[in-house]
Amino acid sequence: MTATWVRIGHIEQAGKGVKILARAFGKEVHGTITPEGVKKLLSPGSSPAEILKVQRTPDGTEIYEKIGTAFRSRSGRGLIISLIAAPEASGSWDGFRAVLGGTRERIAISVLEPAEEEQEDPRPAPRSSLYDGLECRF
């Protein structure tokens, strides 16, 4: 059995930053990477960017809460999204750049789900005959 990729959400442009929408553990997760965070990701030797949850109070004040980090994968071909309330997800680095450039509206982010392991029965399988499994009969 092999592991499978399961889509949990997407990334789309929001102004000069990006918005991350994901569904994990039965809950919707909404996060934002600010323009400063996008610059961090795109700079040479890129450092992780914070994924923030933005809440607006009735008086118009914005409260930022860190809900994860985003960083480029070791191979350089993926964007890793590590949310506190979700398993680590990834998306295409080229797709991320296309979203920032405006040539794509959004890219999918997915998690790798391990394959279910077959449980081995601790009892031996019943044999159809007393002599099954013997090399020869005597």
- Read off the pLDDT of residues 4-45 as tens digits, 9 standing for 90 and up: 888 999 999 998 899 999 887 778 889 999 999 999 999 887
129 within some domain: no
Examine residue 23 and state whether it is found in any structural domain, yes or no. Answer: yes
Mean pLDDT value of segment 109-134: 65
pTM, rounded to two decimals: 0.75
What average pLDDT does range 107-111 have in this prediction? 91
Whether residue 101 is contained in a domain is answered as yes
Task: Examine residue 119 and state whether it is found in any structural domain, yes or no.
Answer: no
Number of domains within the chain: 1
Average pLDDT, stretch 36-61?
90
Say if residue 137's pLDDT is above 50.
Answer: no
Whether residue 52 lies inside any domain: the answer is: yes
List the domain range (segments joined by +) for residue 99.
4-113
User: Which regions of the chain does DSSP assign to beta strands (E)?
Assistant: 4-14, 17-24, 27-33, 49-56, 62-72, 78-83, 89-92, 106-113
